[in-house]
């Protein structure tokens, strides 16, 4: 079973993504406090990380940077959730290795499809 | 009694559906800023397929007399040629009721022969501000389930936006054809007064649009170029008929009279405030690229691009048609003449595009040159 870690400070977003991915038989770990994210990622070694860009404490970009600089974690694909209108930052995200950008509000159904596509590709 | 966990799960699911609808509305608001009805219908069909998760989607539009529905765009298993005449079951019932309906397990109902290829259907009328413009049909969910109320909400979200967007696009298209119709009437009035210019305007329009497209001009500029070309000689309405129809060469006074037509054209059109750049291009369509022999002495980029394009198109047609005072040139000779005047009379980049167009995009006038 593939494991996905979702990090967002908005509880409803976490609940919604967890609900959607679990129904598709994926294992989901959710994190609300971004300061604990790296510790949980190191312990759980997920197949995919979904990150919110804007979080108090540690931002999504910072977590992604740390992840991509870590030899054992850098292969894990990262999805970045951003608010509408942050397109200008997309280039920065790509530079630091963000696999996909998802603009809020996003379609939960399409998010699941993207997750399945990325996880499927990694296994084949 | 339900457990708190299952309550919470249901709430999350409800919220998830609401969020799905919200994201759909965000996407649609971007889609419908475009004006072409084809683009709008195509995006509606795509959104229906992806957000509701169906195998088939079709956008049907009312025909002019509002007595049948015709398919504009479809995805999946759908017969695009089938017409749905008024008073037929299912589709027209939905249109009359002005609200969406789902038809599940079609095979077990009285409607089994209506669309036999589909297991279940959902139909929503597309309602504009003033009238019903069509219907959106989706059929058979990917997951082989029946339709839920959340699906119906998504269909309604798409349809309400789509109805307004389609009606707007139709009104826009009507206005556009009214404008072009009015312009063509003006051109006919001009051509009626001169037997030698018949067909000249239409051909120059074809050449100018062809050159503009080769130059990679965006659609809105090509559209302006078309209006510009249709109207480029409109000033000749004020030129005495005897001069326009004269059978021998013109004397100097007559040439001076004829050369007033670009300026006169601009004066005639000056009331059309939205046509400012079109009017300038008409005024300067006889300027020379090098600034030497034009009527106003403009040169290079001072001459509007549309005027530079028009200049080549106009000259080519003038050379390849008969005039009272001289025989027409062959197409080959005319092309050579245009090439010879590149950099003096004509903008070299326009000549370059003209050569590409005349050699490859103009099948009726294909010229064989080295």
In this prediction the ipTM stands at: 0.73
Q: Which domain holds residue B334?
A: 177-365
- Chain A hits for B51, CB-CB cut-off 8 Å, are 107, 109-110
Give the whole-number percent of chain B exceeding pLDDT 70: 94
From CA B301, how far away is CA B313, in angstroms rounded?
18
pLDDT band of residue A26 (cuts 50, 70, 90) is very high
Q: Which residue has the tokens 């509408």?
A: A84
On chain B, the residues whose CB falls within 8 A of the CB of A16 are 12, 15-16, 19
Cα separations in angstroms, B81 against B15, B78, B123, B124:
40, 9, 18, 20
- Please check whether residue B260 lies inside any domain of the structure: yes
Are B114 and B191 contained in the same domain? no
Distance CA B97, CA B230 (A): 46
**Chain B interface with A: residues with Cβ < 8 Å:** 9, 12-13, 15-16, 19-20, 22-24, 26, 50-51, 53
**One domain for residues B62 and B196:** no
**Per-residue confidence at A124, pLDDT binned at 50, 70, 90?**
very low
> Quick check: B232 and B309 in contact, CB under 8 A?
no
Do residues B192 and B325 both lie within one domain? yes
> What is the pLDDT, as a whole number, of residue B370?
42
Whether pLDDT at B266 is above 70: yes
Are A16 and B53 within 8 A, CB to CB?
Answer: no
Q: Do B51 and A108 touch (CB under 8 A)?
A: no
**Residue A56 touches partner B, C-beta closer than 8 Å:** no
- DSSP H or E segment with residue B62: strand B54-62
DSSP B106: G
**B26 and A84: CB-CB below 8 Å?**
yes
Closest CA to A72 of A44, A101, A114: A44
The domain locations on chain A are 3-117
A110 and B50 in contact by Cβ < 8 A?
A: yes
* B270 lies in the same domain as B344: yes
Interchain pair A108, B50: CB under 8 A: no
* Mutation choice for B interface testing from A109, A112, A114, A117 by most B CBs within 10 A: A109
Contact B207, B331 (CB under 8 A): no
CA-wise closest residue to B289 among B211, B361, B344, B215: B344
Range of lowest pLDDT (B112-121, B225-234, B329-338): B112-121
Q: How far apart are CA B229 and CA B289, in angstroms?
A: 18
First to last CA, chain A: 15
Query: Hey, are the CB atoms on B13 and A107 less than 8 Å from each other?
Result: no
Cα separation, A29 vs A49, whole angstroms: 10
Q: B196 and B76, same structural domain?
A: no
DSSP sequence for B108-123: GSTTTTTSTT-S-EEE
Nearest CB partner across the interface for A107, out of B9, B15, B24: B24
Query: Would an 8 Å CB–CB cutoff place A12 in contact with chain B?
Result: yes
**Closest to A105 (Cβ–Cβ): which among B9, B23, B51?**
B23
Pairs of residues, one from chain A and one from chain B, whose beta carbons lie less than 8 Å apart: 35
> Per-residue pLDDT for B16 more than 90?
no
Residue B368 has pLDDT above 70, yes or no: no
Q: What is the mean pLDDT of residues A83-105?
A: 77
Place of tokens 């054209």: B265
Q: Specify if B332 maps to a domain.
A: yes
Worst-scoring range by mean pLDDT, A49-53, B105-109, B127-131, B217-221? Answer: B105-109
Closest by Cα among B31, B64, B33 to B174: B64
d(CA A81, CA A103): 6
Residue B370 lies in a domain: no
Question: What is the total count of domains within chain B?
Answer: 2
Element spanning B124, H or E = strand B121-127
- Among the listed residues B141, B226, B236, B283, the single catalytic one is B236
Known catalytic residue: B213? no
Same domain, B197 and B160: no
Task: Among A20, A84, A110, select the one facing B16 at the smallest CB separation.
Answer: A20
- The yes-or-no verdict on residue B367 having pLDDT over 60 is no
List the single residue in A12, A16, A109 with the smallest CB-CB distance to B51: A109
**Do residues B155 and B245 share a domain?**
no
User: Tell me, what's the pLDDT at A2?
Assistant: 94
Q: What is the mean pLDDT of residues B8-12?
A: 79
Question: Do B102 and B37 have their domain in common?
Answer: yes
Q: Do B151 and B242 belong together in one domain?
A: no
Q: Is B211 found in the same domain as B94?
A: no
Instruction: Looking at the structure, tell me whether residues B213 and B350 fall in a common domain.
Output: yes
CATH number at residue B102: 3.30.450.40
Predicted confidence at residue A123, as pLDDT, reads 46
Q: Which CATH number does the domain housing residue B183 bear?
A: 1.10.3210.10
Distances (CA, A) of B319 to A65, B307, B323: 67, 18, 9
Q: How many residues does chain B have?
A: 370
Last residue of a domain, one of B144, B169, B194: B169
d(CA A64, CA A96): 7
End-to-end CA distance of chain B: 88
pLDDT of residue B325: 67
* Nearest by Cα to B290 from B315, B262, B311: B311
- Hey, which of B165-169, B208-212, B273-277, B330-334 has the most confident mean pLDDT? B208-212
Query: Which residue reads 């974690």 in tokens?
Result: A73
pLDDT (tens digit per residue) in B295-317: 899 999 999 999 999 999 999 99
A29-70 pLDDT, tens digit each: 999 999 999 999 999 999 999 999 888 888 888 999 999 999
Contact of A109 with chain B, judged by CB distance below 8 Å, is answered with yes
For domain A3-117, the question of CATH label 3.40.50.2300 is answered with yes
Whole-number pLDDT of residue A119: 93
pLDDT tens-digit map of B73-100: 999 999 999 888 887 778 888 888 888 8
C-alpha of A118 from chain center: 12
- Reading phi first (left if > 0) and then psi (alpha if -120 to 50, else beta), residue B128 is in beta
**Residue B162 and residue B246 in one domain:** no
Q: Out of A68-82, B8-22, B296-310, which region has the weakest mean confidence (pLDDT)?
A: B8-22
- Give me the mean pLDDT over the B342-370 stretch: 80
How much is the average pLDDT of B251-271? Answer: 90
């Amino acid at each position: 079973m593939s494991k996905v870690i979702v990090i967002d400070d908005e509880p409803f977003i976490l609940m919604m993504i967890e609900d959607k991915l679990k129904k598709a038989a994926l294992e989901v770990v959710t994190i609300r406090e971004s300061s604990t994210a790296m510790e949980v990622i190191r312990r759980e070694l997920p197949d995919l990380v979904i990150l919110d860009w804007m979080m108090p404490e540690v931002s999504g970009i910072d977590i992604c940077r740390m992840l991509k600089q870590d030899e054992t974690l850098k292969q894990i694909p990262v999805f970045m959730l951003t608010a509408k209108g942050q397109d200008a930052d997309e280039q920065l995200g790509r530079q630091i290795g963000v696999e996909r950008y998802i603009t809020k509000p996003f379609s939960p159904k399409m998010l699941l499809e993207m997750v399945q596509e990325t996880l499927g590709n990694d296994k084949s | 009694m339900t457990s708190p966990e299952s309550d919470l799960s249901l709430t999350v699911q409800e919220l998830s559906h609401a969020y799905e609808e919200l994201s759909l509305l965000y996407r649609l608001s971007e889609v419908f800023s475009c004006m072409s009805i084809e683009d709008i219908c195509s995006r509606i069909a795509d959104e229906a397929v992806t957000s509701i998760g169906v195998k088939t989607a079709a956008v049907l539009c009312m025909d002019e007399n509002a007595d049948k529905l015709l398919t504009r765009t479809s995805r999946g298993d759908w017969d695009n040629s089938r017409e749905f005449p008024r008073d037929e079951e299912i589709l027209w019932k939905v249109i009359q009721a002005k609200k969406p309906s789902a038809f599940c397990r079609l095979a077990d109902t009285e409607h089994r022969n209506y669309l036999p290829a589909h297991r279940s259907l959902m139909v929503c009328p597309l309602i504009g501000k003033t009238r019903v413009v069509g219907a959106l049909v989706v059929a058979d969910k990917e997951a082989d389930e029946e339709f839920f109320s959340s699906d119906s909400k998504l269909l309604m979200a798409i349809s309400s936006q789509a109805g307004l967007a389609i009606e707007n696009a139709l009104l826009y298209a009507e206005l556009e054809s009214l404008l072009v119709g009015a312009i063509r009437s003006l051109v006919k009035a001009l051509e009626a007064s001169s037997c030698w210019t018949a067909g000249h305007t239409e051909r120059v329009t074809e050449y100018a649009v062809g050159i503009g497209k080769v130059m990679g001009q965006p659609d809105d500029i090509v559209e302006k170029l078309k209006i510009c070309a249709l109207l480029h000689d409109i000033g000749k309405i004020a030129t005495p008929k005897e001069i326009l129809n004269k059978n021998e060469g013109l004397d100097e006074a007559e040439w001076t009279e004829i050369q007033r037509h670009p300026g006169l054209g601009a004066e005639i059109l000056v009331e059309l405030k939205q046509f400012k750049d079109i009017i300038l291009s008409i005024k300067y369509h006889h300027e020379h690229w090098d600034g030497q022999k034009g009527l106003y002495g403009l040169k290079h980029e001072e001459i509007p691009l549309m005027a530079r394009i028009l200049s080549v198109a106009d000259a080519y047609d003038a050379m390849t048609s008969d005039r009272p005072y001289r025989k027409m040139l062959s197409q080959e000779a005319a092309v050579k003449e245009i090439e010879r005047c590149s950099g003096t009379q004509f903008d070299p980049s326009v000549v370059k595009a003209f050569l590409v167009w005349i050699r490859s995009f103009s099948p009726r006038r294909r010229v064989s040159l080295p």
